[in-house]
Amino acid sequence: MTSTTQTEPQAESDYAAVGGAPAITVVVNRFYELVLADDRLRGYFDGIELVRLKRHQVALVSQVMGGPVAYDGRDLRTAHANLHITADDFAAVAGHLIAALTEAGVPSEIIDRTVSAVAATQPDIVEVSATEA
């Protein structure tokens, strides 16, 4: 008599659930449209090579969502050093990410997990406290 064991199917990653690299690329492109249209944030991107930045952002979001892509850019603290980013600026960027994800039809539970992971990076990005701004 042979015993068969049925295993639970592997849970699908958020990366796969949203459609993988093509979907994340659409979200990142929309995210940067929103950020660059925001007068509070536009200046942070003066002189920045956006194609390269978007590529890094796609990798970062893909990694956060459990995809097979590994972020290989500079560490976030180094990349954002001396930009004098405030907590309000960080919150505005997070809001634009939420908007881009929402517009793309990403389920709210995936948005929550993604934004929580991004929020955890705030200490590496924000240099200026609200009282210093």
CATH number at residue 31: 1.10.490.10
pLDDT of residue 29: 97
Identify the DSSP state of 68: S
Please check whether residue 93 lies inside any domain of the structure.
yes
pTM across the whole model: 0.84
What confidence tens digit (pLDDT) does each residue in 55-113 have? 989 998 999 999 987 777 788 888 888 889 999 999 999 999 999 999 999 999 999 99
For residue 49, the enclosing domain spans 18-125
Judge contact between 127 and 80, C-beta under 8 A. yes
pLDDT of residue 79: 83
- Is the pLDDT at 37 greater than 50, yes or no? yes
Q: What is the largest CA-CA distance in the chain?
A: 73
Quickly state the pLDDT bin for 127 (edges 50, 70, 90).
confident
Please check whether residue 9 lies inside any domain of the structure.
no
* Distance (Å, whole) CA 66 – CA 11: 11
Please check whether residue 107 lies inside any domain of the structure.
yes
Quickly state the pLDDT bin for 125 (edges 50, 70, 90).
very high
Quick one: CA dihedral 19, 97, 122, 41, positive or negative? positive
Please check whether residue 27 lies inside any domain of the structure.
yes
Q: Tell me the H-state helices in 1-133.
A: 14-18, 20-36, 50-64, 76-80, 87-103, 108-119, 122-125
Q: What's the domain count of the chain? A: 1
